[in-house]
Amino acid sequence: GAGVSQSPSNKVTEKGKDVELRCDPISGHTALYWYRQSLGQGLEFLIYFQGNSAPDKSGLPSDRFSAERTGGSVSTLTIQRTQQEDSAVYLCASSSDRGKTQYFGPGTRLLVL
Amino acid sequence: EDQVTQSPEALRLQEGESSSLNCSYTVSGLRGLFWYRQDPGKGPEFLFTLYSAGEEKEKERLKATLTKKESFLHITAPKPEDSATYLCAVQAGVASGSARQLTFGSGTQLTVLP
């Protein structure tokens, strides 16, 4: 079956611009996670959605980062007023429930000039 | 704070030369330990989940084992196509309602030479 998909695969933007990254989870998966993978760093957790519950935003690095999930499916991660340190690979993962195996998408490679 | 340390950072093997990758962890009540494989430019690909000390799982040339403090990924007679970065992650068994997010190590970059 179809896996997690993300778009765009690559994004180049100028410092100070806003960007939106999209994630389509595996059909039927209720849990959705966003992670960030920077050069020389491991994957770090950003935000978690479970069904219609309020998201866990405990990993967001600043208030410039926000995310939403519409209809319990597609999610959008928004970064406002991008900075060069935001350059990274943004990965989305979904699972059938919050304790289950997480399956990752291919990522969006963001470069802020 | 949950922590995961992987060693070595990089490993070069000749084809057929077996070896092991290490993942040491500290976590507040382990719910699961996960191994992923990541190829350049791609997202992590799930390999194994281990839940309790003594558990072992195998897939082709890979075998994962778990103790109370560490996990090993054994690679038997590797082939060049096994070249990738191998990531270890833990999931803590905290109170219900938590995100159960994964805490990752920095990975081991494996290169298998023909």
Cβ separation of A48 and B32 shorter than 8 Å? no
Could you report the per-residue pLDDT of B44-64, keeping only the tens digit for each? 999 999 999 999 999 999 999
Domains of chain B: 3-93 (2.60.40.10)
The pLDDT score that the predictor gives to residue B53 is 95
B96 pLDDT exceeds 80?
no
The pLDDT score that the predictor gives to residue A94 is 95
* Chain A residue numbers touching B49 (CB-CB < 8 A): 101
**pLDDT band for position A7 (50/70/90)?**
very high
The pLDDT score that the predictor gives to residue A51 is 84
**pLDDT band for position B99 (50/70/90)?**
low
Read off the pLDDT of each residue in B95-109 and give the average, rounded to a whole number: 82
Cβ separation of B106 and A42 shorter than 8 Å? yes
* Chain B residue numbers touching A91 (CB-CB < 8 A): 43-44
* Best B100, B106, B108 residue to mutate vs chain A (most A CBs within 10 Å): B100
Read off the pLDDT of each residue in A62-86 and give the average, rounded to a whole number: 95
Cβ separation of A101 and B45 shorter than 8 Å? no
**pLDDT band for position B112 (50/70/90)?**
very high
Cis bond upstream, residue B8 (ω within 30):
yes
- In chain A, the percentage of residues whose pLDDT exceeds 70 is 99
Read off the pLDDT of each residue in B87-104 and give the average, rounded to a whole number: 80
- The answer for residues whose C-beta is within 8 angstroms of residue B47's C-beta and 6 or more apart is B34, B35, B36, B37, B59, B62, B64, B86
Query: Under CATH, what is the fold of the domain A5-112?
Result: Immunoglobulin-like (2.60.40)
Q: How far is A106 from chain B (nearest CA, A)?
A: 4
The pLDDT score that the predictor gives to residue A99 is 76
- The answer for residues whose C-beta is within 8 angstroms of residue A72's C-beta and 6 or more apart is A30, A51, A52
The pLDDT score that the predictor gives to residue A52 is 81
